Amino acid sequence: MPFAAQHLKAGRLHLMKSDPTMKKIIKLVGPFTARTKPDRFGALVDAIVGQQISITAAATIKGRLLEHVDNGKGRYCLERLLEQEVESLREVGVSRQKATYILDLADKVRSEAVDLKKIGRRDNEAVIEELTQVKGVGVWTAQMFLIFSLGRLDVFPVDDLGIKNGIQKFYGLDDRPTVEQMREIGEPWAPYESMASWYLWQGLAVE
């Protein structure tokens, strides 16, 4: 589901009132402009394709893959993906390892081991547990899905390097923060940790 405007307004006010440093970051960055991606299957395929490669390279491979298995509406077709072999995906630029991950995802979506129709009804931990059954989908990828596909505002990806760097920079730490430090700093953000995380990412890009 998309981010609701009233929730974003409430979240922004909450963050600015509860944390003076976050207030400065918000003023630096400006409005919260993140958008959700309603195509849940596509979001997961894209997340796998984009792992550990540049944004430009990922965009090129996603375009080739989409052309190869398009459903006619600009989205990946599950049925066409299930007809593929690892080698046919490699021909459009997907690595062998990622091809096995994508095919495993498609298989689990077909069997409803990963039920993308109902997954939005589950709490965050249950979503993470369900998605991490898929080869190549770890906790971080599941957290990005929670934020940018399901529109959850209370997700804090404490293992994300950008968030670590943002906290170190804006909160004046000599070293990258530990998970314990991050949780302590982020405690006032609840229940809008996703928004705070986005502002940290954007703050690094602005400065």
How does pLDDT run across 78-91, given as a tens digit for each residue?
999 999 999 999 99
Structure tokens at 171: 């909160």
CB of 165 closer than 8 Å to CB of 19: no
d(CA 200, CA 205): 9
d(CA 26, CA 60): 32
The architecture in CATH of the region 40-137 reads: Orthogonal Bundle (1.10)
Neighbours of 161 (CB within 10 A): 10
The whole-model pTM stands at: 0.91
For residue 1, the model assigns a pLDDT of 59
Closest-CA residue to 189 (of 170, 161, 173): 170
Amino acid 187 reads E
State yes or no: pLDDT of 162 exceeds 90.
yes
Catalytic residues: 160
Instruction: Give the tens place of pLDDT for each residue, 96-151.
Output: 999 999 999 999 999 999 999 999 999 999 999 999 999 999 999 999 999 999 99
For residue 164, the model assigns a pLDDT of 96
Question: Which stretches of the chain are DSSP H helices?
Answer: 5-18, 20-29, 40-49, 55-68, 78-82, 86-90, 96-111, 124-131, 139-148, 161-170, 179-186, 193-206
Categorize the per-residue pLDDT at 207 as very low, low, confident or very high, splitting at 50, 70 and 90: low
State yes or no: pLDDT of 73 exceeds 80.
yes
Burial of 5 (C-beta count, 10 Å sphere; 0-12/13-18/19+): exposed
Residues 6 or more apart in contact with residue 151 via CB below 8 angstroms: 1, 2, 3, 4, 36
Is domain 5-35+155-206 classified as CATH 3.40.470.10?
no
Report the pLDDT averaged over residues 37-62.
Answer: 92
Structure tokens at 56: 């430009």
3-state secondary structure of 76: strand
Look over the chain and give the mean of its residue pLDDT values, rounded to a whole number. Answer: 94
For residue 81, the model assigns a pLDDT of 95
Ranges of each domain in the chain:
5-35+155-206, 40-137
- The pLDDT > 90 percentage for the chain reads 91
